[in-house]
DNA sequence: GTCTATAAGAAGATAGAC
DNA sequence: GTCTATCTTCTTATAGAC
C-alpha cells in the first residue's frame, strides 16, 4: 500500500479509537513510520486527512449499496427462493449481516468514528443513519416483504415486521461495539431472537382469526 | 443556582454537543458569565469538571434505579394490575419511557456525552450500557414477566420478548438523538410497534399448539 | 519524499491585584 | 471570587537541507 493510503488507514484507526481532536498529526505519522512534516507532502493538513477518509467511506458505502441493490434485484427475479426459506436460513441471514457489520475492519472503524464524531457535523450523523438504520431497514424490508408476498411470513405491516427483525440486531451490534467480550452472548441472543421472530410471523398451520382475515384478503 | 453548579451545567451542555476535547475552559466560563481563570477557584482543572459531571450522573442514575426498583417492588406486590393491562396502557408505558429518555434534559445531555466519549474510557461505555441497555431490559423484563405470569402475554422466553419490546424503542431513541426532526415519525412508529407487539404476544382467544403446551405447563 | 529545526498559535493553568 | 496579565505546554504547520 502506498504512503498516501497508509496515512488514511492509520488515521482511520486512530480517529475511530480516540476521536479526531485527540489524535495528533505526529501520532498518525509515527504509525506510518514517518515524521509529522513528511505527512504534509501527502495531505494539505489534518482536516484534509479526515475529509479523505469520509470521502472513501462514502465511496465504499455507495459500492456496497449498489451491490446490495443488485442482489436485491436478483432477489426479486428469484422470488421463488423466498417461498421456501427455512428458519435456519433466516438465522444465517441475520448472523451474516451481524458478523459482517461487526467484523469487517473498515465498516467497524468507520462506524466507531461516526459514532464519536456524529454530533460535530450533521452530515456525519446523516451518514450513520443511512448506513446503519435506513438502508438496512429498506433492504431487509424488501426481503421480508418478498417473503410476506410469497406467503412464508404474514403481517399487516411489513415496516413494523422489519423493525422487529432489525432493531434487535442493531441493538446487539451497538452492544458489541462497546463491549466486544459480549459477542458470543450476543450471537446466542440473536439466534433466539430470529427463532422467536420466525415463530411469531411464520404462517400458522392453524390460522388465528387475524390470519384468516389476511388469507381472505390475499386470495382476492 | 450557585456558580459551582452552573459550571457543571454549562459544561455538560457543551460536552454533550461538541465532546470534551472540543470544549475550551474559556467556552464554559463565558457561558457561566465569568472569565476562564475564575473557574479554577471552583475546580482544580478541566478534567475535574468532567469528573464531577460523571459523578453527578452516576448519582442521578442510581437514584433513578432506586426509584424504579421501588416501583418495581410495588409492581410485584400489585401484580394484579398487570392482569388487566390494556393495549393502550402498554402504548402509554412505551411512550412515557421513550419521551422521558428523549426529553429529560439531564438524561439527554448525559446520553449524548456518553455516546461521544464512550470509546475514550471503558467505564463510560459501561455506564452507557447499564443505563440504556441492561437496566431497561431488566426492568421491563420484570414488568413483561409479570404480565406473562398473569397470563396477559404469552411466551416461552421472556428475555427475547423483552428484547422485542425494547430494541425498537432503543433504536428509535438513537434515531431521535441524531435527527430530532424525526421525533413525530418515531412516535407513530413506536405506537404501531407496540400495537403489533401486543398482537403478537397477547394471549389468543383460540390458543395455538404452542400456547396449549404453555397453558398446560402453567396449570401444573 | 523524508528529514531537522522552528515558527505560529491555541489552550490550559497560574500569579497576584482588587 | 473575579479580574488582567502572563507563563507553559502542546500541536499544527512551514522552511529549507538532503
Q: pLDDT value at position B151?
A: 87
- Chain D: nucleotides below 7 Å from protein CB are 1-5, 10-16
Name the closest nucleotide to A22, judged by C1' and CA: D11
- Residues of chain A positioned with their CB less than 8 A from the CB of B144: none
A157 vs B196: CB contact, 8 Å cut-off?
Answer: yes
Q: How far is A53 from chain B (nearest CA, A)?
A: 19
The answer to whether residue B20 sits within a structural domain is no
The pTM of this model reads 0.90
C-alpha cell at B177: 438523538
Integer distance in angstroms from CA B25 to C1' C6?
28
The answer to whether residue A12 sits within a structural domain is no
Name the closest nucleotide to B49, judged by C1' and CA: C12
B175 vs A118: CB contact, 8 Å cut-off?
Answer: no
Q: pLDDT value at position B72?
A: 59
> CA-nearest residue of chain B to A203?
B208
Q: pLDDT value at position B215?
A: 43
B120-171 per-position pLDDT tens digit: 889 999 999 999 999 999 989 988 998 898 888 999 999 999 999 999 999 9
The answer to whether residue B160 sits within a structural domain is yes
B120 vs A171: CB contact, 8 Å cut-off?
Answer: no
What does residue B90 show for φ and ψ, rounded to 5 degrees?
A: -65, -40
> CA-nearest residue of chain B to A182?
B129
Domain ranges, residue A76: 58-219
Q: Kindly state the average pLDDT of the residues B70-99.
A: 76
CB-count burial class (<10 Å; 0-12, 13-18, 19+) for B65: middle
Q: pLDDT value at position A186?
A: 98
The answer to whether residue B9 sits within a structural domain is no
Q: Quote the mean pLDDT of chain A.
A: 88
Q: pLDDT value at position B97?
A: 87
Q: pLDDT value at position A79?
A: 60
A125 vs B16: CB contact, 8 Å cut-off?
Answer: no
Integer distance in angstroms from CA A37 to C1' D18?
15
Q: pLDDT value at position B71?
A: 65
**Confidence bin at B77 (pLDDT 50/70/90):** low
Q: Which residue has the closest alpha carbon to D14 C1'?
A: A37
> CA-nearest residue of chain B to A195?
B160
Q: pLDDT value at position A219?
A: 43
The answer to whether residue A162 sits within a structural domain is yes
Q: pLDDT value at position A120?
A: 80
Please enumerate in sequence order all residues whose Cβ is within 8 A of that of B19, keeping only pairs 6 or more positions apart, or say none: A19, A21, A116, A119, A120, B113, B116, B117
B160: helix, coil or strand? helix
Cβ atoms of B171 and A163 within 8 Å: the answer is yes
Q: How far is A193 from chain B (nearest CA, A)?
A: 6
Residues within 7 Å (Cβ) of strand C: A 3, 29, 33-38, 41-42; B 23-26, 36-37, 40, 44-47
Q: pLDDT value at position B103?
A: 94
- Residues of chain B positioned with their CB less than 8 A from the CB of A171: 133, 163, 166-167, 170-171
The answer to whether residue A28 sits within a structural domain is no
What stretches in chain A show pLDDT beneath 70? 69-80, 204-220
Cβ atoms of B148 and B156 within 8 Å: the answer is no
The CATH number linked to B190 is 1.10.357
Q: Quote the mean pLDDT of chain B.
A: 88
Q: pLDDT value at position B203?
A: 78
Integer distance in angstroms from CA B37 to C1' C18?
15
DSSP H helices, B33-134, are 36-39, 46-77, 87-103, 105-117, 122-129
Q: What is the rounded distance in angstroms from the CA atom of residue A207 to the CA atom of residue A154?
A: 10
Query: For chain B, how many structural domains are there in total?
Result: 1
B37-69 per-position pLDDT tens digit: 999 999 999 999 999 999 999 999 999 888 776
- B3, containing H or E segment: helix B3-18
The answer to whether residue B34 sits within a structural domain is no
- Residues of chain B positioned with their CB less than 8 A from the CB of A209: 205-206
Integer distance in angstroms from CA A8 to C1' D7?
37
B157 vs A192: CB contact, 8 Å cut-off?
Answer: yes
Q: Which of A129, A192, A208 sits opposite B160 (nearest CB)?
A: A192
The answer to whether residue B3 sits within a structural domain is no
Integer distance in angstroms from CA A53 to C1' C4?
29
Residue identified by cell 465569568 is: B34
A119 vs B174: CB contact, 8 Å cut-off?
Answer: no
Q: What is the DSSP string of chain A?
A: --HHHHHHHHHHHHHHHH-GGG--HHHHHHHHTS-HHHHTTT-SSHHHHHHHHHHHHHHHHHHHHHHHHHHHHHHHHTTHHHHT--HHHHHHHHHHHHHHHHH-HHHHHHHHHHHHHTTT-HHHHHHHHIIIIIHHHHHHHHHHHHHHHTTSB--S-HHHHHHHHHHHHHHHHHHHHH-GGGHHHHHHHHHHHHHHHHHHHBPPSS--HHHHHHHHHHH-
Q: pLDDT value at position A179?
A: 94
Amino acid at each position: 500500500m502506498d504512503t498516501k493510503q497508509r496515512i488514511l488507514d492509520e488515521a482511520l484507526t486512530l480517529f475511530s479509537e480516540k476521536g479526531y481532536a485527540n489524535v495528533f498529526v505526529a501520532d498518525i505519522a509515527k504509525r506510518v513510520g514517518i515524521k509529522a512534516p513528511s505527512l504534509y507532502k501527502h495531505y494539505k493538513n489534518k482536516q484534509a486527512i479526515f475529509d479523505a477518509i469520509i470521502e472513501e467511506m462514502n465511496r465504499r458505502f455507495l459500492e456496497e449499496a449498489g451491490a446490495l441493490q443488485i442482489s436485491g434485484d436478483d432477489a426479486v427475479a428469484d422470488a421463488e427462493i423466498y417461498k421456501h426459506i427455512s428458519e435456519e436460513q433466516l438465522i444465517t441471514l441475520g448472523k451474516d449481516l451481524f458478523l459482517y457489520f461487526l467484523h469487517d475492519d473498515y465498516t467497524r472503524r468507520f462506524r466507531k468514528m461516526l459514532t464519536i464524531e456524529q454530533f460535530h457535523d450533521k452530515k456525519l450523523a446523516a451518514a450513520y443513519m443511512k448506513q446503519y438504520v435506513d438502508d438496512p431497514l429498506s433492504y431487509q424490508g424488501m426481503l421480508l416483504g418478498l417473503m410476506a408476498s410469497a406467503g412464508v411470513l404474514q403481517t399487516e405491516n411489513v415496516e413494523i415486521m422489519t423493525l422487529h427483525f432489525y432493531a434487535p440486531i442493531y441493538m446487539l451490534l451497538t452492544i458489541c461495539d462497546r463491549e466486544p467480550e459480549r459477542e458470543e452472548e450476543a450471537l446466542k441472543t440473536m439466534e433466539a431472537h430470529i427463532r422467536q421472530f420466525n415463530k411469531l410471523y411464520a404462517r400458522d398451520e392453524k390460522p388465528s382469526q387475524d390470519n384468516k382475515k389476511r388469507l381472505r384478503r390475499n386470495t382476492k
